[in-house]
Amino acid sequence: MQQIAWLASLVLMTLVGLGFAFVAINSGAREEDYGRVVHSAYSTRTKLFWTLVLVFGPVMIYTLRDLPYDAGHARSNSGPVQVVQATAYQWRWELSRDRVAKDQPVEFRVTSADVNHGFGIYDAGMHLVAQTQAMPGYTNIIRHTFRNEGTYRILCLEYCGIAHHNMMAEIKVGGL
Ligand SMILES: [Cu+2]
């Protein structure tokens, strides 16, 4: 996915660069019939606008479906929701429970007692499975259904001071 995003950015940056180069090279030329140029520029602009709407509208709707916020909600029929209250401190996590069952939705209610932190859940292979921000005065909710047993780690994703790297907690997923 990162690779695709990078390639797409590269192609688009090249196109923008070529556009600038085209304008720079042709900036010396004088156009007599200004009205004709205005007309064709406006019609190009209209076409470009609708092309962008038609291309990026569906892309936006398609990619928004990947947002995790409501994922557990939609599947909450697959079992009772297990609630984990998570509070961030400089520099530790406080979890209301450290064991949850697999294949049942877990609702993490994440907040902070001091500064902003990032709440990231990693699997045994250190792949990020879900994340949200831990903010003082707010409770951010993420729902995640663990499909694999094992020990997951919670790491802070936002630099929060000198011992930021020590902010680690474990949560065990298995049969309860
Ligand atoms: Cu941190």
**Residue 69: per-residue pLDDT:** 60
- Cα 142 from Cα 70, distance rounded (Å): 8
| Beta-strand relationship, 99-101 and 140-145 | unpaired
The whole-number pLDDT of residue 37 equals 82
Residue 155 contacts residue 168 (beta carbons within 8 Å): yes
CA of 33 to the centre of ligand 1 (A): 61
- The alpha carbon of 104 and the centre of ligand 1 are apart by a number of angstroms equal to 28
Cα angle 43, 47, 48 (rounded to 5 degrees) comes to 115
In the three-class reduction of DSSP (H, G, I as helix; E, B as strand; rest coil), residue 158 is classed as: coil
pLDDT tens string 35-78:
888 888 899 999 999 999 999 999 999 888 877 665 545 554 56
Whole-number pLDDT of residue 70: 56
CA of 5 to the centre of ligand 1 (A): 27
Q: Is 32's pLDDT higher than 70?
A: no
pLDDT tens per residue across span 119-142: 999 999 999 999 999 999 999 999
Task: Determine the distance separating the centroid of ligand 1 and the alpha carbon of 167, expressed in angstroms.
Answer: 6
Give residue 39 CA to ligand 1 midpoint distance, Å. Answer: 55
- Distance (Å) from CA 129 to ligand 1 centroid: 18
Task: Name the nearest CA neighbour of 169 among 68, 86, 100, 83.
Answer: 86
The bridge status of strand 99-101 relative to strand 168-174 is parallel
Ligand 1 mean position, distance from CA 162 (Å) = 9
CA of 112 to the centre of ligand 1 (A): 11
Question: In the structure, what pLDDT confidence band is assigned to residue 175 with cuts at 50, 70 and 90?
Answer: confident
Residues composing the chain: 176
Tell me the residue ranges of DSSP E strands in the chain. Answer: 82-89, 92-95, 99-101, 105-112, 117-122, 128-134, 140-145, 150-156, 168-174
Q: What pLDDT digit, counting tens, does each position of 146-165 carry? A: 999 999 999 999 999 999 99
**3-state DSSP assignment of residue 94:** strand
Listed residue (139, 147, 143) closest to 130, CA to CA: 143
Span from the CA of 90 to the centroid of ligand 1 (angstroms) = 8
pTM for this prediction = 0.59
Q: What is residue 38's predicted lDDT score, i.e. its pLDDT?
A: 86
Could you tell me the distance, in angstroms and rounded to a whole number, from the CA of residue 160 to the centre of ligand 1?
4
Number of H-type helices and E-type strands within the chain: 3, 9
